[in-house]
Amino acid sequence: MLEVRQLSHSYGDRKVLDDVSFDVAAGRLTGFVGANGAGKTTAMRAILGLIRPDAGEVLVDGRPITPADRTGIGYMPEERGLYPKMRVREQIVYFGELHGVPKQVAARRADDLLERVDLHERANDKVEDLSLGNQQRAQICVALVHEPRILILDEPFSGLDPIAVEAVLEVLRERAAAGAPVLFSSHQLEVVEKLSDELVIISHGRIVAAGGRRELQEQHSRGLYRFGVDDPSALLVEPDVREAKRDADGVVVAIDASDDAAAEARAQQLLRAELDRGPVRGFARELVPLTTIFKEVR
Ligand code: ATP
């Protein structure tokens, strides 16, 4: 478990982190989202020890993070850090060795990682000859070659095609399953929605929401239910029901209720009434997308 506790940091008189606390649980993928300039990279740099925050601390398994912990972090910096003239495989092996991995082991892992992210055919190309997306894949291999116990990735999915996103995700999930806390920032909210188990939302240097991704979505989706009916007019005359969305799969209604249990009970009652009127092809709680939560909390 990685714990960030009450980090504050200013550049000059501009406060960019203000009492920031959040957890990155072992075995979970934690998505770190926030608008441009919200403070994600600064927080990540503070975890890495690349900046010394004005206040606060970082804990690993309940004790202050050590230089050895930091050396062992798999970090993918925002500004990237590959040598353009070096060949891809050579570079991964080199970074592995820098982290103390014996050359032969690093070479084996490099081959495995390159295969996993489907870059093996470019293994002997120079980095500068790769497309940006392929450079990104190489960068991910570099961050993983020493089998890090903690992963901090600044925008690891930017510029990747959907197949590459899946491939990288699978590798990250494996590291998480091996017990590593994984923190990744992203502006691609639909990707974060799909990939993250946990979510941390930062706005103007403050944490504005944090917790289980699904739980957060549920909290922001109280009373939203999808009814797969062709004609929702009878539903919509109810005084506590209003239409939130309508599409080819039916209608999403917002039920005005004081809590989740009351909303659920009312939804079941409405469902029974609809079934009496005719076929209902589908019925489910509807979760708002992350974009909605993001707009609500920022
Ligand atoms: P983005 O999504 O655009 O990458 P971010 O959430 O990662 O943004 P940071 O890079 O942490 O945000 O920046 C937070 C604030 O700190 C911004 O206003 C930025 O301009 C400022 N900042 C970052 N680094 C420095 C620096 N070295 N000197 C002065 N100001 C800085």
Give the number of the atom of ligand 1 that is nearest the alpha carbon of residue 17.
Answer: 14
Protein residue with least CA distance to atom 9, ligand 1: 39
d(CA 140, CA 194): 19
Cβ partners under 8 Å of residue 46, min gap 6: 4, 7, 9, 17, 52, 53, 56, 58
- What's residue 159's pLDDT? 86
State the Cα–Cα distance between residues 271 and 282, nearest whole angstrom.
10
Q: How far is the CA of 39 from the centre of ligand 1 (A)?
A: 6
pTM confidence score? 0.90
- Indicate the domain borders of the chain: 2-217, 220-297
pLDDT tens per residue, range 75-131: 998 877 789 999 999 999 999 999 999 999 999 999 999 999 999 999 999 999 999
Closest CA to 187 of 151, 217, 157, 143: 157
- Nearest residue to 157 via CA among 180, 186, 193, 126: 186
- Write down the pLDDT at residue 80: 73
Q: Tokens 């549920």 map to which residue?
A: 218
Cα of 42 from ligand 1 centre, angstroms: 6
d(CA 46, CA 272): 54
Residue among 40, 51, 187, 201 whose CB has most ligand 1 atoms within 8 A, to mutate: 40
Hey, how many other C-beta atoms are within 10 angstroms of the C-beta on 174? 13
- 217-227 confidence digits (pLDDT tens): 998 999 999 99
pLDDT digits (tens, 9 = 90+) for 35-62: 999 999 999 999 999 999 999 999 999 9
Q: CB 274: neighbour CB atoms within 10 A?
A: 19
User: Ligand 1 centroid to 114 CA: how many Å?
Assistant: 32
15 confidence band (pLDDT: 50, 70, 90)? very high
Cβ–ligand 1 distance for 36 under 6 Å, the answer: yes
Substitution candidate for ligand 1 out of 22, 32, 33, 41 with most atoms within 8 A of CB = 41
Least confident of 43-47, 89-93, 211-215, 292-296: 292-296
74: Cα separation from own chain's centroid: 16
Q: Using a 6 Å cutoff on CB, does residue 223 contact ligand 1? A: no
CATH of 2-217, one of 3.65.10.10, 3.40.50.300, 3.30.70.20, 3.40.640.10: 3.40.50.300
Listed range (22-31, 42-51, 158-167) with the worst mean pLDDT:
158-167
> Does the structure show a pLDDT above 80 at 64?
yes
Q: How far apart are CA 193 and CA 178, in angstroms?
A: 22
